[in-house]
């Protein structure tokens, strides 16, 4: 499957790893052309982040492995875009 975009729910402890360390790990994954890490929640000891990764033939397993090797945790896949072309989400209207 040609994964073009992944939106992941990623959490990490407050003190470490730093967001830069997580970013460096993501950058090294095959297929990743660009990414965005946005902090969505800061708790007393944890930071919740929304991670959007775009590219061509992104290796999901390698991506999760790289993120988790830094000490951050992937909780869920919130969006997956794959195939020969990028298909944006269409809101249903009734």
Partner 1 sequence: MRSLFHDSSQVFALVIGVTDGILTALTLAAGRIFESSDPITIGLAFRISAASSASGIFVFFTAELIRLRGSLARAERQLNLTTQGRLATTNLGRTILIETAIRAVVSSTCNFFGALIPLIAGAIRPATSWLAIVIALVLLCGLGFAAGRAIHGNPILWLLSLLVAGVVLTVAGVKFRIV
Looking at residue 72, what DSSP letter applies? -
Q: Please report the beta strands in 1-94, taking only residues with DSSP state E, as ranges in sequence order.
A: 3-13, 32-42, 46-55, 73-82
Residue 32 or residue 67: which is nearer to partner 1 going by CB? 67
In whole angstroms, how close is the CB of 71 to partner 1 at the nearest point?
4
| Rounded-to-integer distance, Cα 90 and Cα 94, Å | 13
| Rounded-to-integer distance, Cα 87 and Cα 33, Å | 17
In whole angstroms, how close is the CB of 26 to partner 1 at the nearest point?
14
Residue 5 or residue 11: which is nearer to partner 1 going by CB? 11
Residue 73 or residue 81: which is nearer to partner 1 going by CB? 73
Write the interaction track for partner 1 spanning residues 35-74; mark x where CB under 8 A is met and - where it is not: --------x-xx---------------------xxxx-x-
């Amino acid at each position: 499957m040609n994964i073009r975009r992944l939106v992941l729910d990623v959490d990490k402890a407050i003190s470490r790893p730093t967001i830069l360390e997580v970013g460096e790990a993501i950058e090294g994954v095959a297929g990743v052309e660009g990414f965005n890490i946005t902090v969505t929640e800061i708790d007393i000891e944890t930071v919740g982040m929304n991670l959007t990764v775009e590219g061509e033939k992104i290796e999901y397993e390698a991506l999760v492995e790289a993120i988790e090797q830094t000490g951050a945790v992937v909780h869920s896949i919130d969006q997956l875009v794959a195939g020969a072309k990028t298909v944006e989400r269409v809101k249903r209207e009734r």
